[in-house]
């Protein structure tokens, strides 16, 4: 069963202390704290993805152009005002606002 995060609603409507509550996915959200009876609301939480998805790990992965190319990604790096140079993947070598890209230049399979 999933664990949901709720917060107590303060008398002025401000968010209060949070707590976790395990309940069935089909159960309706709580309206009041199960122990104190205070009004509560469910807090939407970001999805947790396991693994090495820290900011530092993602930064290192994005710097590895050979790995990005091998995985099928295309990477462009800004090299000037409105000019981008390709560092990995398929596509035109340079993209600029003076020479826009057409769909045929991207080599996207149907």
**19-61 tens-digit pLDDT:** 999 999 999 999 999 999 999 999 998 876 666 666 676 666 6
Residue 109, pLDDT above cutoff 90: no
Residues 59, 39: one domain?
Answer: no
SS3 9: strand
Is residue 50 in some structural domain?
no
Domain count, the chain: 2
Residue 16 has pLDDT above 80, yes or no: yes
Q: Which of 13, 46, 9 is nearest to 29 (CA)?
A: 9
What pLDDT is attached to residue 40? 97
Paired sense of beta strands 75-80 and 83-88, if any = antiparallel
- As a whole number of angstroms, the distance between CA 55 and CA 16 comes to 29
* Residue 49 within a domain: no
**In this structure, are 8 and 37 located in the same domain?**
yes
Please, which pLDDT band fits residue 1 given cuts at 50, 70 and 90? confident
> Are 22 and 62 part of one and the same domain?
no
In a domain, 48, yes or no: no
- Asked whether residue 102 is assigned to any structural domain, the reply reads yes
What is the domain range of residue 77? 55-106
> Has residue 110 got a pLDDT over 60?
no
Residue 79 forms part of a structural domain? yes
| 69 belongs to a structural domain | yes
CB 1 within 8 A of CB 23: yes
Determine the Cα–Cα distance for residues 108 and 57; give it in Å rounded to an integer.
Answer: 28
CA–CA distances in Å: residue 35 to residues 15, 56, 102: 18, 41, 62
Give the pLDDT confidence score for residue 53 in this predicted structure. 60
Q: Tell whether 102 and 59 lie within a shared domain.
A: yes
């Amino acid at each position: 069963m999933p664990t949901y995060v709720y917060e107590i609603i303060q008398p002025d409507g401000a968010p209060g202390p949070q707590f976790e509550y395990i309940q069935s996915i089909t159960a309706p959200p709580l309206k009041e704290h199960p122990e104190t009876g205070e009004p509560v609301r469910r807090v939407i939480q970001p999805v947790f993805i396991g693994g090495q998805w820290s900011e530092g790990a993602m930064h290192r992965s994005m710097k590895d152009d050979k790995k990005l190319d091998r995985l099928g990604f295309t990477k462009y790096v800004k090299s000037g005002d409105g000019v981008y140079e390709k560092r990995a993947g398929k596509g035109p070598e340079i993209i600029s606002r003076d020479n826009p890209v057409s769909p045929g230049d991207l080599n996207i399979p149907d």
